Amino acid sequence: MKLATSLQLSALGAASLAGLLFLSGCSSMSNAASGSPASKPGTAPMVVTVSDAPLGNILSAKVTISAVSVTPASGSPVNVLSQPAAVELSGLGSLQEPIELTSLAPGTYSSVTVTVSAAQVTYLDPTTNLPVTATATLSSPTVTVALNPALSFTTTSEVDLHLAFSLAQSFSISGSTVTFTPAISSSAAQVENENDSQREVEVTGMVVAISSSSITVQSGDSGQQFTFAINGSTQFPNGVTPSSITQNSIVQVKGQTQTDGTLLALSITPLAAGMSSGQEDGAKGIVVMVTHDAKGNLTGFTMVPQEDFGSMMSTGMTLNVVVASSTAYGINEDATQLGLTAAMFNSAEIFPGQAVMVGGAMDSSGNLDATQITLGGENVMGALAAAPQASGSNIDFALALPVPSFLSTYEKLVTLNAVAGPNTQYGNNLTASSFASMTANSAIQVHGYLLVDQNGNYLLTASEISQPEMPETPEGN
């Protein structure tokens, strides 16, 4: 089942880097917990998730989804969103972020209605190459789209409703005018019928509670709280255990939806080192400028946060990060499963266009003193420069990058070399075999980890590869 919609938005961009003010109020959304499914006799637990197909010159894009409802074949719409959810889209790519755990009565549902109440973006100005922020004006905030085929189920195992935004099909930037027409594709299925990739979710944020059997995290994006079970298969970095993770610390949790409506943590990665107690601050986003001392040592960088954590933070404003000799570097467990090692990521890997996650403490000047910098996931949209080539258990390929994009602007890249390995996942009905048989100029989106070697060669190690979907026409059009 696929569905899609278009909403027309417009915005005016500010002209200077210093004037960035991006969604300063969104991080103050309600923190009501939604960590467990509603318990109602005769209903199926339901998870509502969001992902995105990225656009290269968008550094950050956040929308507030104020309502989501499904309409049965006969009867009134059923609300499946308990409160508004602010979601940063450009940092997701093919990753799925949960925004609600609820329940739904078995039956047949013919349509979905989505209401967007706010949208803002930060993009690269093609003239100055500086980030610019734009606040969107909503012209058609509510849209209803037919489910074709209808969602129909009779059991009470969990249902997954997925909203996939496509920034690549949404933005038109002309001078200081930004037209934002969000294209939303959606799919729904019972979790028991989904593959591992379709069931995976990811949340980054503040630890609210943790024990040997579970962790509750408040999303730095939506402000919602989600509880993940911990078991013997949950992966941690070397030396990390549940007992070493403290309340108020920042973590990234990669999880999987279960048929009973709960979430299982597949891996947990702390994002700050040397903070044994107290409030931690942090952000994840894109580096836009780096600074070095006279000896060439990294002393700091400026980034555009896509999500923020802790106090004194405001998503979308530029953030100055101070780097010291004691700052630690690391990779998350997802990158480890792809064959990357912590030794591959260090201060030399911090460059404009790089995606990072930073943990530490805010100082009195509003700078973030970094205790740890973790390699972030890069979301890249492009076309195959040539047919993929098998190389042992890997598949080598190159992406022709769109212009403008932050990688083509900052690093002057025309094509980006990439590799898919045995643990790379595939989405939108793509498989390793079908990807290997694709031809040049085929459009794909890749979530992965970007590193550059001492010779200046860039390589993106793919975590997930999928084909973008074409939106359909909203109901009534």
Check residue 434 and give its pLDDT: 95
Instruction: Identify whether residues 24 and 164 lie together within a single domain.
Output: yes
- Is residue 400 situated within a structural domain? no
Rounded CA separation 398/385 (Å): 5
Q: Are residues 12 and 127 in the same domain?
A: yes
Q: Report the range of poorest mean pLDDT among 74-78, 94-98, 101-105, 260-264.
A: 94-98
Is the pLDDT confidence value at 416 over 80? Answer: yes
Tell me which range, 3-7, 30-34, 159-163, is most confidently predicted by mean pLDDT.
Answer: 159-163
Assigned token pair, 109? 């549902």
Pair 163, 50: CB distance under 8 Å: yes
| Domain limit, last residue, from 151, 180, 195 | 195
Provide the CATH number for the domain around residue 266.
2.40.50.140
Give the per-residue pLDDT at 31: 38
236 falls within a domain: yes
- Assess contact for 439 and 136: CB atoms under 8 A: no
**64 and 167 part of one domain:** yes
pLDDT digits (tens, 9 = 90+) for 26-45: 333 333 444 445 456 788 99
Q: What is the pLDDT of residue 171?
A: 66
Establish if 346 belongs to a structural domain. Answer: no
Of 9-18, 199-208, 406-415, the least confident: 9-18
Average pLDDT value for the chain: 82
Give the residue carrying structure tokens 């004691």. Answer: 326
Single-letter residue type at 473 = T
SS3 192: helix
Range of the domain at 257: 200-270
Q: What is the three-class DSSP state of 193?
A: helix
What was the pLDDT predicted at 27? 35
CA distance 309 to 362: 11
Inside any domain, residue 69: yes
**Are residues 155 and 99 part of one domain?**
yes
Closest CA to 131 of 52, 14, 221, 27: 14
Q: Is residue 39 part of a domain?
A: yes
pLDDT band at 277 (very low <50, low <70, confident <90, very high): low
Q: Which pLDDT score, from 0 to 100, does residue 239 have?
A: 81
Which run of H or E residues covers position 435?
helix 432-436
Output the pLDDT for position 222.
78
Query: What was the pLDDT predicted at 384?
Result: 96
Residue 186 sits in the same domain as residue 213: no
Domain closes at, from 239, 255, 270:
270
> What are the strands, taking DSSP E only, across 73-199?
78-79, 85-88, 97-104, 107-124, 131-138, 142-153, 159-166, 171-174, 177-180, 183-190
Mean pLDDT of 89-101: 84
Give 46-61 pLDDT, tens digit per residue: 999 888 877 678 888 8
Helices (H), 258-374: 333-337
- The answer, yes or no, to whether residue 272 has pLDDT greater than 60, is yes
At residue 409, the 3 state secondary structure works out as helix
Q: What is the DSSP string of 220-272?
A: TTT--EEEEE--TT-B--TT--GGGPPTT-EEEEEEEE-TTS-EEEEEEEE--
User: Coil, helix or strand for 365?
Assistant: coil
Residue 470's pLDDT is what?
A: 63
Instruction: Provide the pLDDT confidence category of residue 18 given band limits of 50, 70 and 90.
Output: very low
* pLDDT tens track for 425-453: 998 788 999 999 999 999 998 999 999 98
For residues 226 and 33, what is the distance between their CA atoms, to the nearest angstrom? 7
Domain end residue (candidates: 251, 270, 289): 270
Say if 44 falls within a structural domain. yes
Q: Do both 207 and 247 map to the same domain?
A: yes
Confidence of residue 476 (pLDDT cuts 50, 70, 90): low
Range in 243-257, 314-328, 375-389, 408-422 the model is least confident about: 314-328
Give 175-204 pLDDT, tens digit per residue: 777 766 666 777 788 888 888 888 889 998
Highest mean pLDDT of the ranges 66-70, 189-193, 267-271, 377-381: 66-70
Whether residues 176 and 97 share a domain: the answer is: yes
Query: What tokens does 400 get?
Result: 């022709």
Query: Which residues, 6 or more positions from 146, have their beta carbon under 8 angstroms from its beta carbon?
Result: 3, 110, 111, 475
Is residue 362 a part of any domain in this protein?
no
- My answer on whether 247 and 106 are in the same domain is no
Pair (215, 145) in one structural domain: no
pLDDT at res. 311: 63
- Looking at residue 104, its pLDDT comes to 92
What amino acid occupies position 75? G
Q: Establish if 354 belongs to a structural domain.
A: no
Q: Is 99 exposed, middle or buried (0-12, 13-18, 19+ CB in 10 A)?
A: buried
Percent over 90 (pLDDT), the chain:
40
Q: Give the total number of structural domains in the chain.
A: 2
Whether residue 252 sits in one domain with residue 126: no
What is the tens place of the pLDDT at every residue in 379-393? 888 899 999 999 999
Among candidate residues 104, 179, 184, the one with its CA nearest the CA of residue 144: 184
- pLDDT, tens digit, for every residue of 330-357? 998 889 989 999 999 999 999 999 999 9
- State whether 166 and 208 are in the same domain: no
Query: Distance (Å, rounded) from C-alpha 224 to C-alpha 98?
Result: 9
Provide the Cα torsion 164, 170, 176, 177; round to 10°.
-120
> In this predicted structure, what is the pLDDT of residue 21?
30
DSSP β-bridge partners for residue 354: none
Distances (CA, A) of 277 to 112, 170, 367, 394: 44, 43, 20, 42
Q: Are strands 200-210 and 250-257 parallel, antiparallel or unpaired?
A: antiparallel
Mean pLDDT across the stretch 63-79?
Answer: 90
Residues 132 and 15 in one domain: yes
Q: Can you tell me the distance from the alpha carbon of 135 to that of 25, in angstroms, rounded to the nearest whole number?
A: 13
Phi/psi for 41 (5° steps) reads: -55, 135
pLDDT score recorded for residue 9? 31
